[in-house]
């Protein structure tokens, strides 16, 4: 039996010292499922009978009201707020740089703190205002493994996957900066949709291959489309992949969002060069996976991205083969004039050739919009996002045309 002598000590028992843990070292509540949030609260002493109510409170403050400070949770008791501040964080990432184009496109360079081993990392997120909608382009990885030969992002080696929190925080920060939460004001002079949400659509088309970070992307998108929180329609969320075939069906069945395929070529030998993952998952396997995508219909079409490269993939014979490849797949084909970047060997197709290509596809019954140039002065273009060590100097960035992802997702 343990000694009871301590009960007779003359000195009072001291309360344990609670170390003031820096926010960067604290676990975050952002990006946790309801179940995981409940478990985290129980571990810190919250009564199990109160957990469901506490999770609902936190969920509302994080994803409906958009708070990033526990002290703003006015219907949570002071003791509870102190416990949350001691053990958790809900802080936003650091904004290293914010650039605003003359057309309203915004690009944020965001820094996430090192949690545990490693060092802080930086990624880019882009917002594109359109008529009747605002689209946010979100990154899923720091760097990329795919080395697509026409893509600037692909020249930055993969550093690591982003966590569910880091993926979701890009949406929360954008809504903060645009005044898209209740009781928040839109910045003076900002170009945003005239009605409705400032961020109405999101696309997983930033840095990285989302399907190589499936679980974190899944968790983040399920929270973003949760009807009791951020409540984005799944028809307004598009995930873009270069063709990770085994995860395509899972995307439809487990996440249920719209799908976009970075296609860019209609022959395996060319796609092997442009999109090297094609060597592992060739065109037939990729398109068979697209035909089997859950809930595929004319109302839930797959978008095929096709970057227009002069004298590489822009002939009318390419257009004819494209139509043959997509037979039986409800589809939209986005034609992307190539965005130049330093060191590339590719050129953009002539505008007249792009229009001929688009006309041929339209006559075959497929929508084939040509993307409108956006964010020209801030290098915010598809395939041009890149961070940290090889970022171009700002004076160089202003010299290159840019354009961003538009027209993805439905308008329901």
Query: What is the set of active-site residues?
Result: 124, 382
Which of 286, 275, 165 minimizes the C-alpha distance to 223?
165
45 annotated among ligand-binding-site residues: no
Q: Binding residue per annotation — 209?
A: yes
Q: How far is CA 64 from CA 92, 297, 396, in A?
A: 16, 32, 40
> Cα 398 from chain centroid?
24
User: Is-contact 350 312, C-beta < 8 A?
Assistant: no
CA distance 52 to 32: 14
* Ligand-binding site membership of 290 (annotated): no
Residue 263 counted as an annotated binding residue: yes
339 is in an annotated binding site: yes
Give one DSSP letter per residue of 4-40, joined into a string. -GGGG-SSPPPPPP-----GGGSPBSTT--HHHHHHH
Burial status of residue 321 (CB atoms within 10 A of its CB: 0-12, 13-18, 19 or more): middle
Q: Which residues of 79-118 are buried (b: 16+ CB within 10 A; e: fewer)?
A: ebbebbbebbbbebbeeeeebbbebbbbbbbbebbebeee
Q: 239: which strand partners?
A: 204, 259
Q: Is 208 annotated as a binding residue?
A: yes
262 is in an annotated binding site: yes
Sign for the pseudo-dihedral over CA of 22, 139, 290, 235: positive
- Distances in Å between the alpha carbon of 174 and those of 152, 187, 212, 370, 371? 24, 12, 24, 26, 23
20 annotated to a ligand binding site? no
- C-alpha 243/C-alpha 144 separation (Å) is 14
> 3-state class of 141 per DSSP?
strand
Is 58 among the annotated ligand-binding positions? no
385 annotated ligand-binding residue: no
CA nearest to 38, candidates 60, 61, 55: 55
> Helix crossing, 214-224 with 164-178: angle to 10°?
40
**Token pair of 10, please?**
């003359």
Binding residues for S-adenosyl-L-methionine: 208-209, 240, 262-264, 339
Binding residues for [4Fe-4S] cluster: 144, 148, 151
Binding residues: 144, 148, 151, 208-209, 240, 262-264, 339
């Amino acid at each position: 039996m343990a000694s009871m002598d301590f009960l007779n000590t003359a000195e009072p028992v001291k309360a344990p010292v609670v170390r003031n843990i820096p926010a960067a070292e604290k676990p975050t509540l952002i990006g946790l499922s309801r179940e995981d949030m409940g478990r985290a609260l129980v571990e810190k002493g919250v009564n199990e009978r109160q957990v469901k109510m506490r999770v609902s409170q936190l969920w509302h403050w994080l994803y409906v009201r958009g708070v990033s400070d526990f002290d703003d949770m006015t219907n949570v008791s002071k003791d509870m707020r102190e416990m949350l501040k001691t053990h958790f964080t809900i802080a936003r990432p650091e904004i290293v740089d914010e650039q605003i184009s003359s057309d309203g496109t915004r690009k944020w360079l965001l820094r996430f703190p090192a949690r545990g081993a490693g060092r802080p990392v930086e990624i880019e997120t882009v917002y594109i205002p359109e008529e009747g909608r605002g689209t946010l382009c979100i990154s899923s990885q720091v760097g990329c493994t795919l080395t697509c030969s026409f893509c600037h992002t692909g020249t930055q080696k993969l550093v690591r996957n982003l966590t569910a929190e880091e993926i979701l925080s890009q949406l929360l920060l954008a809504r903060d900066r645009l005044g898209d939460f209740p009781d928040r004001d839109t910045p003076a002079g900002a170009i945003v949709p005239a009605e409705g949400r400032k961020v109405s659509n999101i696309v997983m088309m930033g840095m990285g291959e989302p399907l190589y970070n499936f679980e974190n992307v899944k968790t983040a998108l399920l929270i973003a489309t949760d009807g009791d929180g951020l409540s984005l329609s799944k028809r307004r969320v598009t995930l873009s992949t270069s063709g990770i075939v085994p995860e395509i069906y899972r995307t439809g069945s487990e996440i249920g969002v719209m799908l976009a395929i970075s296609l860019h070529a209609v022959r395996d030998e060319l796609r092997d060069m442009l999109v090297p993952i094609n060597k592992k998952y060739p065109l037939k396997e990729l398109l068979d996976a697209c035909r089997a995508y859950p809930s595929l219909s004319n109302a839930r079409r797959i978008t095929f991205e096709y970057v227009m490269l002069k004298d590489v993939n822009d002939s009318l014979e390419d257009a004819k083969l494209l139509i043959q490849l997509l037979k039986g797949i409800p589809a939209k084909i986005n034609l992307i004039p190539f965005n130049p970047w330093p060191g590339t060997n590719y050129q953009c197709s002539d505008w007249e050739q792009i229009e001929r290509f688009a006309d041929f596809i339209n006559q075959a019954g497929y929508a084939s919009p040509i993307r409108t140039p956006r964010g020209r002065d801030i290098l915010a273009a598809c395939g041009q996002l890149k961070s940290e060590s090889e970022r171009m100097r700002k004076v160089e960035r202003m010299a290159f045309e840019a354009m961003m992802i538009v027209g993805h997702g439905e308008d329901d």
